Amino acid sequence: MKTRRRKKQKTKKKKKKKKKKKEKMLYSHVTLLMLRVVDVVAKTTVQQSARMLVAEIHGEIQIGALFPIHRQIAGSESCGEIWEQYGIQRSEIAMLTVKQLNEELPFKLGLSIRDSCWTERIAMEQTIAFLREGVAQCSCCQTPGCNKKSVPVVAVIGPGKSSSTIAVQNLLQVFRIPQVGYSATTPDLSDKEQFGYFLRVVPSDVFQAQAINRLLHHYNWTYVAVLYSAGNYGEKGFESLERLIAHRSSSVCIAYSEKIKTLASDEEYRQVLSRLDSQNSRPQVVVCFCEGASMRQFFKAQKHLAEGKMQMKRFQWIGSDGWADRNDVVEDLEEEAEGSFSIRIHAPKIPGFRQYYTALHPENNTMNPWFREFWQQKFNCQFAVSKEDKNNENIRICTGDENMDEQYKEDPKLSQVINSIRVVALGLKAMYQDRCRDNSTLCTEMLSRNGTLLYEYLLNVTYSDQFKQPVYFDRNGDPPAWYDILNYIGTKDLDNPYNEVGSFKSINDYGVEELDMTARSMFFDKTELLPESVCSRPCGVGQRQRETMACCWICESCLDIQYVNKSTNQCMNCSLGSWPNVDRSGCDEIIPEVVSWTSFGHILALVLAVTGIITSIATLVVFLRHNSTPVVKSTTRELSYIILSGLVACYAVSFALLATPSTSSCFITRVIPPIAFAVVYSALLTKTNRIARILAGSKKRILTKKPRFLTTFSQVVITWILVAVQCVIVGVGLMRDWPDATYAKYALPRKLILECDTETKSFLIPFFWDFFLITLCTLYAFKTRNLPENFNEAKFIGFTMYCTVVVWIAFLVLHMGTTHKALVMSFSYSLSASVALALLFFPKLYIILMHPEKNIRASYTTTKLIRCHFGNSQAAYDSTSKQQHLGSKTTARTSVQSGSASKSSSMGGGVTRTASVHVPVSRGSTHSTDVSTQTEASKFARSFSIVGRKKQGLEDDVQQLVDACRRYQDEKINSSAANLLLEEAEDEVGALLADSIENSMRTVLSTVAAKAVVPLVPMVTSAPPQEDNFEQRGARAHTPPRPAPFPKRRVPISVAPQSRCSAARLVPSDSVMSSSSSSSRGQLSPVSSVGSGSPPSSPFHDMCDEELAQISVRQLNQKLMGQDRSVVLQWKQKRRTLKNRGYALNCRARRVQNQAQLETDNIRLRNDLKAAQNALREAQSRLLYYENPTCYQYYHAVFPIPAPPSIVTSSDCSATSSSITHQIPSDPTTSASIHTIKFETEFKSGY
């Protein structure tokens, strides 16, 4: 089967080849027939047309050449003026080259030059002329003026235009005549299937497009426009550039492109530039794949638009080799072309050609039939002038002596013309040497004109020209590319307006493509500042381009975990465990981060943990050594040791927290912290609960029923039960979520941080039990805050709980909001343990180590600052009200410090204790009257008896509480008022102390004693003290003041029960109104209340005046339903009268209170001022006496004061100056008048 398929494929190929041969044969026959027809017509037109002239050098082998001797007339295909550079210079260099080659070749080479006029039609006509001579093999004898046989051409050089070259090649390849191009650069000619007999010495426009592309990248011009001329040259050049730019490795974008006709008008060129300038994103750089004429038209259009109304900004032009360095393109348009770039095929100037060319004149250059016409055109003269024109001054006669060197401009492609002729000559020479060998004449193979064989020899030609430039051909007949990058600087250098700034080689010495920019460039704005031609700036690192329109884009940032795929312009995700590199072009593996113990935070946490462990162990050792001392016993030793063990565990867990996470370390950090804190706070809760239960039982039946679970064993068991609950919670959490080490999710994918994989809820749930224990401890600590200072550490436990709550709240917040969870937990655990250690144990260590003398039982039963205020609320309110009366300076003192007691009298035996105290009747009122103005009925005395019972087997700490309260009452009763408060009036101190002692004794009585009958006995105290005058105060200057006795008071005691209706409901409690309270009791009587009118019939008999004043109108209406209208009106009037009287009495009472308060304050201030005056005078007199008797005598003369019994005087005193300034009130009864007395004395001291 395979062999059959192969055979079929071979037969198909053979058939295709046969068809192609038949088509070629048919095409050749048709072409010959057409040539015959054209020949008939051409014979008459060729000789008659001037453009059909031939410049010929006869030889054994003839080659043809097509040069544009004449310019093309714009808008037509006719010949115009002589073209010096492209026509005359090229034809002269070609003839000169043939002459030089004939000196080297073994045969004579001939040359026939014809004019192509830069048009396709005329180039075709001249080619037909070449073919006619070769095909017809006829003699020119039939032609007038010709008597020799023409030699057919074996090869054709030219023409220069690409489109004309293609047209000529289509004819020549039919007759297998090789064609060598010296200026045609279109890429189509590289297609050997279409143009099988063409080769060229200039590179293809494909390489020119590469040079332009490299130039755009060099200057970072990424947004350009391309204009190209119609025809094969411009269109193929644009396609090559577009193909290169479309390649993914190119960053250039074509924003606008347009084709322009070769014969377009000036207006069409202007419209093209106007449309280009009106683009939304206007490109600044314009590439023009145009011939020289089109390039010149664009410059003219730009000048017109820039100078016109549009004021168009000039473009940065880049021209192809159609412009190269031609001066005729920029003539009179130098300003528009300045700063532009052009591409020129590397073609150095021919040495010696200028001398040869400028030496030519019409007489010695008869071989060139167009030279005479050129001479006339160049110098604007004529050789042959009619008789009529000889006298015409406007007509100049050529002399032949004109200077050709003036305005000399050499064609840049003369070297390509030389190389093209030399290639043909070297190919013929190689063929001659191979085929003819030793024959002195041409062999038959050379005379047969075998074009196919000759083309093969031409492709194998390799040599270096006179500029050491290698010349060789690839299989497509194209040589290597070498371009010069030219920068037109115009008027800056008139001799050399084209500055060569770089070069481009398709293959350099190392076999790679190379762009070498060697000089600075000038740009369109005539500066060296590089212009920008971009639509959108390049995206930064980590951004991709999202195109919005042609050549424009928006930069979109990729995610941090993504890199940019340049090939697809997409954001791609990095795999887990990798991260984008610096330029975001790929991903790099992430190195896992390991916990470093050298950081400051970790070092500090470890130091804190180690310090805590050492301190806890040291505390445990001290407690064990002093295990039997009262300090250790008072802390409940067993619970203290449990707490210390829990604290050590709290500190020790920091090592597992800060270690590199593993399964074992994660297990430890998950289990140990909640259990360790449960141990600590369970023991503290047991302590505070025991104290609270003792306190609660003492208020009810502490002496009748013993509280349960107060023993040490019970406390330990309760503690471990609470810890067991935590162990169960932790165990359940472990079964649901087993701890293990994994990479932290919050750090992924940027970092790989190893940490314990534990859910937040699984971690926090066990701590809720600890927080529950902390909350209970805090509540119990607050409840027992008023116990004696050193009784079971109630105050320190409270402080510990307060601080712990703050630490734990901060810990929960930080744990939820930070990534350094291990470090936060370490600090939180250590701080919580440190708070408990410092507040619970450091005070005990201080007593044990620094003050062992205080480590006795008495120090842990009571102190001088006992707070035993757990009485009823009414007593507390009475004590507080009395404290507020004493002034702002005593508000900070406790009730123990703000009262003074009188001496107590002991009555009876040891069972009953009686204390006599003074208690005010109106405890809610403010004491506003002076001592002298108080009445005997304002206060009454009460005495209480405290009945004690035997101890009933209570625990030591319970009995300590009872003894502390009893001892506290004795100390208060036996203390002196002057020793407790020296600055208060004694009557006020006595009243306040009476309230405080009464409240405390009531509490003790209700707590530790059975109910006892308290008899109320009147008490009589001494009279108030009299004020001393100034002289008496001076006489007792050295006698300390004694406390004044209480004023005389005798208050009748009435213990009758209070009636349901009281004056306190109508009028606030007041000393003035209290005496009339009894008159307000009884049933309601409108006559007694109102005072006038007959009493109406009472609808209700159980309502007093106070109730009537407080009743609402609606309630009154309900009670008076069914009564007469007059009765209703009288009761309503009585209610309004009572309410108005109550308001008036309230206002009066407030005024009396305010006045009394002001008077009391004035009296107190007078007394204070008198005492300060007397003390100051006494101090001054003593100071003057001891310093200088003389001065003292002078002072005594002013203020007589009894002198001490002995006075030491001195006769001579040293000169001193003493200034004594003090304020003395002129009137002892007021403090408003103040005088200042200043003494200045000078004396000498003899000390």
Does the bond joining 283 to the residue before it have cis omega, within 30 degrees of 0?
no
Q: Is the dihedral of CA 913, 917, 921, 925 positive or negative?
A: negative
Tell me the pLDDT band of 794, cut-offs 50, 70 and 90. Answer: low
Q: What is the pLDDT of residue 1216?
A: 36
pLDDT tens digit sequence for 1062-1077:
433 333 333 333 333 3
1208 has pLDDT over 90 = no
Q: Answer yes or no: is 538 within a domain.
A: no
pLDDT tens digit sequence for 1144-1194:
888 888 888 888 889 898 998 989 898 988 989 888 888 877 766 555 555
Q: CB 1006: neighbour CB atoms within 10 A?
A: 15
Boundary residue ending a domain (860, 889, 906): 860
SS3 736: helix
- Say which residues have a Cβ less than 8 Å from residue 1093's Cβ, sequence separation at least 6: 1086, 1087, 1130
Q: What is the pLDDT of residue 927?
A: 40
Domain that holds residue 258: 206-337+489-517
Residues 104, 219, single domain; the answer is no
pLDDT tens digit sequence for 165-213:
999 999 999 999 999 999 998 889 999 999 999 999 999 989 999 999 9
Q: Answer yes or no: is 368 within a domain.
A: no
Q: Answer yes or no: is 1198 within a domain.
A: no
Which one has a higher pLDDT value, 461 or 1016?
Answer: 461
* CA–CA separation, 333 and 335 (whole Å): 6
701 has pLDDT over 80 = no
Residues 1005, 887, single domain; the answer is yes
For the chain, first and last CA: distance in Å?
151
1012 has pLDDT over 90 = no
Residues 22, 43, single domain; the answer is yes
Q: Answer yes or no: is 712 within a domain.
A: yes
Helix (H) or strand (E) holding 878: helix 873-885
Looking at 261-326, which runs of residues are DSSP E strands? Answer: 285-289, 316-319
1 has pLDDT over 90 = no
pLDDT tens digit sequence for 26-67:
455 455 545 544 454 444 344 345 557 999 999 999 999 999
689 has pLDDT over 50 = yes
Q: What is the pLDDT of residue 1008?
A: 42
Q: What is the pLDDT of residue 575?
A: 85
pLDDT tens digit sequence for 595-618:
677 788 888 989 999 999 999 999
548 has pLDDT over 90 = no
Tell me the pLDDT band of 571, cut-offs 50, 70 and 90. Answer: very high
Q: What is the pLDDT of residue 771?
A: 85
Residues 294, 441, single domain; the answer is no
Lowest-pLDDT range of 676-680, 1047-1051, 1094-1098, 1141-1145? 1047-1051
CATH number of the domain residue 513 falls in: 3.40.50.2300
* CA–CA separation, 801 and 779 (whole Å): 9
Q: What is the pLDDT of residue 697?
A: 62
929 has pLDDT over 60 = no
Q: What is the pLDDT of residue 11?
A: 65
- 991-1009 average pLDDT score: 48
CA distances, 739 to each of 727, 822, 1114 (Å):
16, 14, 74
Joined together, the tokens standing for residue 1081 give: 């009791």
Q: What is the pLDDT of residue 420?
A: 96
Residues 191, 219, single domain; the answer is no
pLDDT tens digit sequence for 362-397:
988 999 999 999 999 999 888 887 777 677 777 888
Q: What is the pLDDT of residue 286?
A: 96
Q: Which of 399, 370, 371, 374 is nearest to 385 (CA)?
A: 399
Q: Answer yes or no: is 1075 within a domain.
A: no
- Say which residues have a Cβ less than 8 Å from residue 178's Cβ, sequence separation at least 6: 154, 155, 156, 172, 197, 198, 199, 424, 451, 454, 455, 458
- Say which residues have a Cβ less than 8 Å from residue 1182's Cβ, sequence separation at least 6: 1037
Residues 197, 216, single domain; the answer is no
* CA–CA separation, 261 and 241 (whole Å): 19
Tell me the pLDDT band of 863, cut-offs 50, 70 and 90. Answer: very low
Residues 428, 512, single domain; the answer is no
Q: What is the pLDDT of residue 1135?
A: 84
Joined together, the tokens standing for residue 713 give: 């064993």
pLDDT tens digit sequence for 462-487:
999 888 888 999 999 999 999 999 99
- 1117-1141 average pLDDT score: 83
Q: Answer yes or no: is 694 within a domain.
A: yes
Tell me the pLDDT band of 1104, cut-offs 50, 70 and 90. Answer: confident
SS3 591: coil
Q: Which of 132-146, 427-441, 684-698, 1021-1035 has the highest mean pLDDT?
A: 427-441
Residues 645, 720, single domain; the answer is yes
Mark 514-550 as b/e (b = at least 16 C-beta within 10 Å).
ebebeeebbbbeeeeeeeebbbbeebeebbbbeeeee
For residues 268 and 261, is the Cβ–Cβ distance under 8 A?
yes
pLDDT tens digit sequence for 111-159:
999 999 999 999 999 999 998 876 655 444 444 444 445 788 999 999 9
Q: Answer yes or no: is 529 within a domain.
A: no
Tokens 């993504």 -> residue:
562
Boundary residue ending a domain (833, 860, 887): 860
Boundary residue ending a domain (860, 884, 911): 860
Q: Are strands 55-57 and 223-229 parallel, antiparallel or unpaired?
A: unpaired
Q: Are strands 179-181 and 498-505 parallel, antiparallel or unpaired?
A: unpaired
Helix (H) or strand (E) holding 544: strand 543-549
In terms of pTM, does the model score above 0.75? no
Q: Which of 489, 326, 335 is nearest to 409 (CA)?
A: 326
Residues 141, 219, single domain; the answer is no
Residues 182, 249, single domain; the answer is no
Joined together, the tokens standing for residue 319 give: 């021209």
983 has pLDDT over 50 = no
Q: What is the pLDDT of residue 143?
A: 46
pLDDT tens digit sequence for 886-908:
333 333 333 333 333 333 333 33
Radius of gyration of the chain (CA): 65
C-alpha atoms less than 13 angstroms from C-alpha of 869 in its C-beta half-sphere: 17
Tell me the pLDDT band of 1116, cut-offs 50, 70 and 90. Answer: confident
Residues 553, 616, single domain; the answer is no
Q: Answer yes or no: is 1235 within a domain.
A: no
CATH number of the domain residue 734 falls in: 1.20.1070.10
91 has pLDDT over 70 = yes
Tokens 């400051």 -> residue:
600
Q: What is the pLDDT of residue 793?
A: 65
**Structural domain total, the chain:** 5
* CA–CA separation, 1183 and 1171 (whole Å): 18
267 has pLDDT over 70 = yes
Q: What is the pLDDT of residue 1101?
A: 56
Q: What is the pLDDT of residue 1112?
A: 82
Lowest-pLDDT range of 32-36, 521-525, 535-539, 1202-1206? 1202-1206
pLDDT tens digit sequence for 656-668:
888 888 888 889 9
1241 has pLDDT over 80 = no
SS3 665: helix
Joined together, the tokens standing for residue 845 give: 């260590």
- Rounded to the nearest integer, the mean pLDDT of the chain is 74
Residues 684, 816, single domain; the answer is yes
- Say which residues have a Cβ less than 8 Å from residue 1140's Cβ, sequence separation at least 6: none
